[in-house]
């Protein structure tokens, strides 16, 4: 499917009827400076899933509460692929209240804004609390927000100062899809390639980075590493087929999984710097007769939303518009993820901004679940056999005694050996005497 670049315009942020936008976001024309943050950690006393102001949220087993939906124009799109069979355990990752195809929010809070996204989630990057969502564990098609999984997996593996050469297989992308403009045989610092990936959603940049990060297995190894890391994070509904997010059979994710992935990305200072970069220059390649040029960040959140930390846009005909964005306000950092959105009446980043406003307006202890920690869902190692002090293999069969018989036989044999040796020495002395 053709991936199109998102060119955002300043449309009004969506708000629910009767809701009032926080003053900090009333005029989103400038952004605050990015503050340094430590890696996210689990709260010391996490809010119980499905609880919040006013009582428990809707939990699994009850009727699904409809999500507030904004009317969107009908569009022609390819048939949606059939998602994998639902795994009950995967739908309750983060808490039982998240197992719903409808809306899940803390009881007693304001209704979230109406958006066109088919699923979304808002969470706290630092505490991991899930503030609310719509179908958080429903399968969706990622488009280019899948590049965040590539970054989470491969960014720590590569030296940003290393200069790499583009090969023909890196340019094997769908005609007309988003690209940075890297040329075959061109040599670029890896940092430049990352900026091309995150600012301009370059699909050839994704291929190159997956190839480098995949080691001897190349791009296929990079995709395999992405899937392994998703599993490690607890993103059980995520399966990557392409490193770029270009559509592939069996490629899925969920709004919840995207929040897990984004949390790891925003814990990385290098990623945060890349995500807030407004523009950079792609160097000229004299040997390839290619001029240098400037690229700009497509994510309008960083220009128009106070406290924006960055994020990622995505679009394919199949996935429609997808979006991940994060922002900070009053020392609180939130992330929003959304899938299957339409750009009218508001673009993906604007829908994300409206949901962030809603999240920042909630009490800090409001939660319907949580983001699991990396490795939390890993299978525990098999317990080692209990130490018994008996050196015999456990598989030995036959009667077992207390070892006394063996010790008596050893004493008896040792005594016989001493008598035999003494007899031999006496015989030799007698023989020597006789030879004299």
In a domain, 349, yes or no: yes
Residue of 144, 178, 244, 254 marked catalytic: 144
Residue 169 lies in a domain: yes
Residue with tokens 């996490």: 46
Q: Check if the beta carbon of residue 126 is closer than 8 Å to that of residue 40.
A: yes
Query: Is 119 noted as a catalytic residue in this protein?
Result: no
The one catalytic residue among 119, 177, 201, 244: 201
Is there a domain that residue 307 lies in?
A: yes
Residue 122 maps to a domain: yes
Please give the structure tokens belonging to residue 356: 């962030």
Per-residue pLDDT in tens (0 to 9) along the chain, 436 residues: 433 333 333 333 343 333 333 333 333 333 333 233 333 333 333 333 443 443 445 444 457 899 999 998 888 878 877 888 989 999 999 999 999 999 999 999 999 999 999 999 999 999 999 999 999 999 999 999 999 999 999 999 999 999 999 999 999 999 999 999 999 999 999 999 999 999 999 999 999 999 999 999 999 999 999 999 999 999 999 999 999 999 999 999 999 999 999 999 999 999 999 999 999 999 999 999 999 999 999 999 999 999 999 999 999 999 999 999 999 999 999 999 999 999 999 999 999 999 999 999 999 999 999 999 999 999 776 665 554 444 333 333 333 333 433 433 343 444 444 344 444 444 444 333 333 3
Range of the domain at 290: 40-68+93-370
CATH number at residue 148: 3.40.710.10
Taking the C-alpha atoms of residue 115 and residue 172, their distance in angstroms, rounded to an integer, is 35
- Is 147 in the active site? yes
User: Would residue 144 show up in a list of annotated catalytic residues for this protein?
Assistant: yes
Any idea what the Cα angle at residue 403 is, between residues 402 and 406, rounded to 5°? 150
- 123 in Cβ contact with 88 (< 8 Å): no
Count up the domains in the chain and report the number: 1
In a domain, 358, yes or no: yes
Which candidate in 119, 147, 244, 254 is catalytic?
147
Predicted TM-score (pTM) of the model is: 0.76
């Amino acid at each position: 499917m053709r991936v199109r670049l998102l060119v955002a315009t300043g449309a009004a942020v969506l708000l629910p009827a009767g809701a009032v936008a926080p003053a900090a976001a009333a005029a989103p024309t400038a952004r605050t400076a990015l503050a340094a943050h430590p890696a996210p950690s689990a709260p010391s006393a996490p809010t119980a899933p499905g609880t919040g102001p006013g009582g428990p949220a809707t939990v699994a087993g009850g009727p699904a509460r409809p999500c507030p939906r904004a009317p969107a124009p009908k569009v022609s799109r390819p048939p949606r692929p059939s998602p994998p069979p639902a795994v009950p355990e995967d739908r309750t990752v983060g808490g039982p209240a998240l197992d719903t195809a409808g809306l899940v929010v803390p009881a007693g809070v304001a209704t979230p804004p109406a958006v066109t996204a088919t699923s979304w989630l808002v969470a706290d990057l630092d505490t991991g609390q899930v503030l609310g969502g719509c179908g958080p564990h429903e399968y969706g098609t990622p488009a280019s927000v899948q590049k965040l999984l590539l970054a989470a997996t491969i960014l720590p593996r590569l030296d940003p100062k290393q200069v790499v050469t583009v090969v023909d297989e890196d340019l094997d992308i769908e005609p007309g899809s988003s690209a940075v403009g890297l040329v075959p045989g061109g040599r670029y610092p890896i940092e430049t390639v990352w900026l091309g990936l995150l600012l301009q959603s370059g699909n050839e940049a994704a291929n190159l980075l997956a190839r480098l990060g995949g080691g001897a297995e190349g791009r296929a190894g990079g995709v395999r590493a992405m899937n392994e890391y998703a599993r490690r994070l607890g993103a059980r509904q995520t399966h990557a087929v392409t490193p770029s997010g270009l559509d592939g059979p069996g490629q899925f994710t969920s709004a919840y999984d995207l929040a897990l992935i984004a949390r790891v990305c925003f814990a990385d200072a290098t990623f945060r710097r890349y995500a807030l970069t407004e523009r950079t220059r792609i160097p000229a390649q004299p040997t390839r007769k290619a001029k240098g040029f400037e690229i700009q960040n497509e994510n309008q959140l960083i220009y128009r939303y106070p406290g924006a930390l960055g994020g990622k846009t995505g679009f394919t005909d199949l996935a429609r518009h997808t979006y991940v964005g994060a922002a900070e306000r009053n020392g609180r950092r939130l992330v929003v993820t959304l899938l299957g959105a339409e750009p009218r009446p508001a673009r993906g980043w604007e829908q994300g901004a409206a949901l962030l406003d809603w999240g920042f307006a909630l009490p800090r202890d409001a939660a319907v679940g949580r983001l699991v920690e990396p490795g939390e869902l890993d299978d525990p190692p098999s317990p080692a056999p209990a130490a018994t002090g008996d050196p015999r293999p456990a598989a030995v069969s036959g009667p077992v005694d207390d070892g006394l018989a063996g010790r008596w036989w050893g004493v008896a044999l040792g005594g016989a050996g001493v008598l035999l040796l003494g007899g031999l020495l006496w015989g030799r002395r007698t023989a020597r005497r006789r030879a004299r």
